[in-house]
Structure 1
Amino acid sequence: MIKNEQFSLTASSGKPIIGDYTVDDQQQNSSIIIFVHGFKGFKDWGAHHLVARYFAKNGYPYLKFNLSHSGVSPEKPNDVTDMEAFASNTISMELADLNTVINYMEQTYHPKNIYLIGHSRGGGLVILQAAKDPRITKLITWAAIADFSSLWKPEQEKEWVKTGKIYVENARTKEKMPLNSTLLQDFNSNKESFNIIQAAARVKIPWLILHGDEDVNVKFSVAQELAQKQLKAEIQKIEGANHVFGASHPYQETELPKHLQEACDKSLEFLKRK
């Protein structure tokens, strides 16, 4: 039977990291997947609940969580509504959150293997983590970015520093979402350690790069760039897939969208390999 256990941790900022752990108690596996969502994403966006069940059903317990400054509050788990938290997010905070979750999972479940899956900006985070954390056994990136600064326009930076804020649009709700200049300052202060391309070259564990060739948000060429930096990584194209592999929010269907199903199948096949 598939069970879903909720948990709440405290981030270094004091904000909560809300997560859930999906497991089939008939198929306990000593390996656990941790999923990291992307920019403007969250653990319950779209079809993430079906992805969690898919892996749990196939013997891989699946842990997903909201980054502490994702803008999703415990009271409103299905949308980004806490704009103050969203605005004050930084890459340093996200990496600290990921580390907090890995520590919690290790101490609570004592897995033999830890696998990371990251989508979009979450893909960038898991590449950085996998390059430096010996606890990680395998890495999978879905439509990963190769540069954190690709999430804003270079011409916005001057205005950003001057006014302390820029706005990005939520494509679904058309809402203007604020980003404080602390994000830019954090990025500029840590350019070397936040360099995803350099980190890709240091990844020593098995790595699967999945990317749709109709991704207009992060072009397929970005996946190729990552694969060129890490020649041992395996790159697979999902034909016709967009940035979210056909999912949408809210997602009302009971089956995974075709392209996301393909991404899950390819990921599972990769994890099953010795």
Structure 2
Amino acid sequence: MPRNFELPAGEDAVLRCSHFSAQGKARSLIVIAHGYKGFKDWGMFPYVAGALSNEHEVISFNFSHAGIGEDLQHFTELEKFARNTYQREIRDMEILLSYLSQHHRFGSLPVFLLGHSRGGGVCLLYALDHPGEIAGVLSWNGITNLDLFTEEQKREMREQGRTHVLNGRTGQQMPLDAVIIEDLEQQAERYNLLERMKQARFPAVLIQGSEDGEHLRRGSETLNRLRPDMEWVRIPGGNHTFGTVHPFAGPTPPLDMAIAESREFIDSVLAGQA
């Protein structure tokens, strides 16, 4: 069973984290970042964390403004979700990774970031902003364009100060405030992942279901073309969540394949460091 802990993240913000302890001698520290309208206890994530903890220390966490509060299964903090900028998410990761680096159990271990969907893009951005700190990034069905919003949503944010996005699973209309689009526009150069990845030096792998959304597959293809040294692994039959659902109904062949490919990537990076 994981050990849960919390870290203050400024103002009334809290990082809610789970530590899956390595079952043997830990070879690295893996930090798992969920995606848009996701959370650390969604469906597959506890299973993934447990599976990777056979040889690694694993930390999963909820971004402080992801909309999930003390109730770890439901979106009860929609006013925080409305202000969840990329700047905020990077700050959350800085707080978490700074804490882990000072912890005797984790401080000496190589750090890998594993992000799903939006989390994949955030992990790439973090590694770009913190050169030399990250051993490798694993982007699972990750975004390469940080602008996830429709033209109508952006217009409403600018003109009315707020728009909404539907959570298809819960039926909730989740608010998005103008601060989100302002963050995107003010830091457009910093958030241009494709351009910045041309010069990146950290190892990374793109692990993607063959049935993932077309725009995400197209983004991975573009990144792979810009960086042919970065492997693009396609998982046959895998959709955006590798065939898994919430509540978790058990692993699927695509999910287990994604985990196996992740282990292989980490092994290859660690072998190269030896």
CA distance in 2, matches of 1:96, 1:208: 23
One-letter identity of the residue aligned with 2:187: N
* Match among 12, 35, 46 for residue 14 of structure 1: 12
* Match among 127, 138, 159 for residue 140 of structure 1: 138
Give the structure 2 partner of residue 64 of structure 1: 60
CA deviations over 1:145-194 (Å, ceiling 9, x no partner)? 11111x11123322221111111111112221111111011111111111
Return 5+ residue gaps in structure 2 as ranges: none
- C-alpha contact (below 8 Å) 1:127/1:199 kept by paired residues: no
TM-aligned CA deviation for residue 30 of structure 1: 4.0
Give the structure 1 partner of residue 44 of structure 2: 47
TM-aligned CA deviation for residue 203 of structure 1: 2.2
| Counterpart secondary structure, 1:29 | coil
TM-score by length of structure 2 reads: 0.93
Percent of aligned positions with the same letter in both sequences? 29
CA distance in 1, matches of 2:214, 2:221: 15
TM-score by length of structure 1 reads: 0.93
Give the structure 1 partner of residue 81 of structure 2: 86
TM-aligned CA deviation for residue 219 of structure 1: 3.1
| Counterpart secondary structure, 1:98 | helix
CA distance in 2, matches of 1:66, 1:206: 25
- Count residues with an aligned counterpart: 266
| 2:264 is aligned with 1:266 | no
CA distance in 1, matches of 2:87, 2:214: 23
Coordinate RMSD, CA, aligned: 1.5
CA distance in 1, matches of 2:216, 2:210: 7
- C-alpha contact (below 8 Å) 2:30/2:56 kept by paired residues: yes
Return 5+ residue gaps in structure 1 as ranges: none
Residues 234/259 of structure 1: CA separation in 2 closer, same or farther (3 Å cut): same
CA distance in 2, matches of 1:5, 1:67: 17
One-letter identity of the residue aligned with 2:63: L
Structure 1 moving runs of 4+ over 4 Å: none
* Match among 168, 189, 201 for residue 171 of structure 1: 168
CA distance in 2, matches of 1:218, 1:169: 19
One-letter identity of the residue aligned with 2:61: F
Mean Cα deviation higher: 211-220 or 196-205 = 211-220
Give the structure 1 partner of residue 94 of structure 2: 99
| 2:76 is aligned with 1:73 | no
